[in-house]
Every structure is written in C-alpha cells, then in structure tokens.
A and B are shown apart, each in its own frame.
Chain A
C-alpha cells in the first residue's frame, strides 16, 4: 500500500501505557478523549478506535479521524495521560484536507486545509484555505487566515460543476526565505492532472503572497481572480 492510501484509511491505534501494557488508544487516552465527548461523530470514532492519523510533537499529539482532527497538549498525572488545558482545538473536516509542518525552533505546528464552500460561477475554481498554528508550549491554536480563493478560468477543457477534484494540500516551509508553500493536485472531469501552488509569507504576518498554477485544462484569468 502506498503512503497516500495509508493516510486516508482508518486503522486501530495501540499505545503503551505507563505500566508497560499495550492497550488500545481509547483506553490509554480515555482521559483526553472525554474532553471531546460533545462532538458525537468524533467521539464515536475515538471510542471505537477508528484513527486515520496520529502524530506527536514533544508533549503534544495530533489525532485525526474521519470526523475531523484535534491537537492536544498532554500531561501525565498519576500515570494517567490528561489534557494540559481546557482549550478545545477540534476541527470537523470530513475530507481530511489538512497538512502540517513542525517548526522545531519555535515549537509550533503550522497546519492548513480546505473549508468547503458553496456557490461558484463557472468557469472558476473557488475554495477556502485556512492557515493556523498550534503552539506546543501553550497548547493553543491560533488562526492566521481563512481566505476564499477564486481562480477565474478561460479556455477550459472538460470542466463542469465539479469545481475541481482537489486532493489534500501539502505544506512545506522554506527557512531561507521565511515562506510557506501550500500545493495540491486538482483535476478536471476527465482526471487531467493540474497543480496549484500557494506561497504564504511567514511570521510576523502570515498571509497569502503568491499563487501559481499548472492547469493544462484551463487558462487562469488573472484580472478576474481574487483572494479575499
């Protein structure tokens, strides 16, 4: 199985507890999961141990299920793993359209993804990109932007109301220029492969700076395209 397939399928997560016993994550992390009880779909996935992605950043964890994902800074009290604070950083996202980048120097995890939006006028590609950070030191999520990007198209080939078939974005960071990049594949109705690249300026002000695209099925009309 390739890594793409691994990242979109649920599996069972097993962890070793502080008594050296290997147990399912819903047992070892039960004191963390209880914090998310009010999110029915998420909690159902957590308690049945249907986990799509799990990652750790120092004393923080990322857990991703089919119902969404959350970051959590954890502490250990009396050999029990508990949440560090009361912040809830759950993001419902059925499409799993996120990627993240660990800044080891600043102890932050930057992450981005798509919010699905309704309504678009053909021919155009319209999507909402959010960009946030999880502060590992404080266990808090900070929002940077949630922008609606509209790429007006001309000379389109095989494009209809699908608004494009987007894949998960990939996030990377260039420390040489303090620029993030979000890239993702987009396809038309006959699955011709296109690529959109979005450069995002780094701190102190994180915002979209530049958009490039490889769209062999269309030409982008720059005058009528926008980022809001």
Chain B
C-alpha cells in the first residue's frame, strides 16, 4: 500500500490507491491552545480528537497524528476532499484546512513490480480460461476468469491505470479481435525428410 505523511496545512496530495495517509498536526502554531480537531475524511467518516485535561499526560490534540486508509472508488481518478477543523479555546469558529486527495488506480505492475502468467486452464463450452498470474514481489497469486467470447466496449487510453484488482479488469476491459484472417499453409510438412525416411522404415 502506498503511504505518505503530511503536515496539517491546506494542500493537494496526488498518489495511487490503495493509499494510507497520515496527517501530523504538530506543526500547528495557533495563538490559543487547541481544544479539538475534527478530521472529516470525505468518505462519510469523521474522527474527533478532543483535549482532555490530565496532569500526567500531554493530551493536546496536536500531538496525535491521524492515519486513514483510502481505496479507489472507480476505474479512473478518485478524489477525496478532507476537511480538518481545528478549534481553539475561547473561539467557536474553527480554523479550517482542506486537503484534496487525488488517487489514481495504480498501474498493476508498479504495484506488484512484475506479473507473470504462471498457468492457464480452459474449460466449458464457452472455452472460458482461468488465468493464474504470479507476482514478482509479495509472491501473490492472482486468478482471473476470462470468457473471450464476450465483447465488451473498448477501453480508452485514459483508462490504462487499471485497478490493482487484476480480476475485474480482465472480465470487463479486454478487446475482442477474433476475426483475424487465418491462412493455413497448404503444404506444411509434418516431418523432416530425415524423420520421414525413418518413419517409413520403422512404421511402414
């Protein structure tokens, strides 16, 4: 998983999903003491860090970095708008920060370093094929079931950055080119002349 740690300032972060973002608010230099930080992650979840007086511990919210994992939402770019509201004592209005998180789907082989085709098995009347891919890094085995007879819509070059889930794209994004002209050679020789001589002698 891709990951990055950033300071709490308004900014844009570009990376690839799945992505782990850590926001470190320790850099905040506000005139008054912080009483609460709300992290509105943009995916419907919120994390609130509230100051709790404790003489034995420093429970200032700015000392607690927050980590969140983000997944891709669709085939192309996923955008998350993360709003962080920082409340200080004596002020009802928060200082607001906006982090725009642009997540592209990772290129398959950047994520796994390299993917090799390890085995194939074809079965059924539709000649469906189970492709078994093996990744170079992390030693994962990825299975993909493909029915080449289905003709889905063609993909555009903008959709090249496919999901790290190899299974789904192959079921939906391949192009079918089944009408390639086939011209078999009429005079193909099954055996070499030397072998043919031997065969004639051994197996008349």
Contact = CB atoms under 8 A, between A and B. Distances in A.
Do A and B originate from a single complex? yes
A220 B118 CA distance: 25
Interface in B82-128: 107-109, 115-125, 127
Interface in A179-207: 179, 181, 183-185, 191-193, 195, 197, 199, 207
A209 B182 contact: yes
Indicate the size class of the contact surface on chain A.
35 or more
Given A214-B174, A220-B177, A222-B179, A181 B127 contact: yes
Given A146-B188, A199-B127, A227-B183, A213 B107 contact: no
B202 A228 contact: no
The interface residues of chain A, by DSSP majority, are classed as: strand
Nearest to B170: A214
Nearest to B157: A157
B184 interface: yes
B175 A219 contact: yes
A75 interface: no
Interface residues of B, number: 52
Nearest to A205: B184
Interface of A: 2-5, 85-87, 138, 140-147, 149, 151, 155, 157, 167-168, 170-174, 176-177, 179, 181, 183-185, 191-193, 195, 197, 199, 207-217, 219-220, 222, 225-228
Contacts, number: 150
Contact of B136 (A2, A193, A209): A2
Contact of A145 (B119, B129, B134, B184): B184
Interface of B: 107-109, 115-125, 127, 129, 131, 134-136, 139, 146, 148, 154-155, 157, 159-160, 162, 170, 173-185, 188-191, 195, 198-199, 202-203
28 contacts: A2-B135, A4-B116, A85-B202, A87-B195, A138-B203, A143-B188, A143-B190, A146-B188, A151-B177, A171-B120, A172-B121, A173-B122, A181-B122, A183-B120, A185-B117, A192-B107, A207-B182, A208-B182, A212-B174, A215-B175, A216-B159, A217-B160, A219-B175, A220-B180, A225-B180, A226-B180, A226-B181, A228-B183
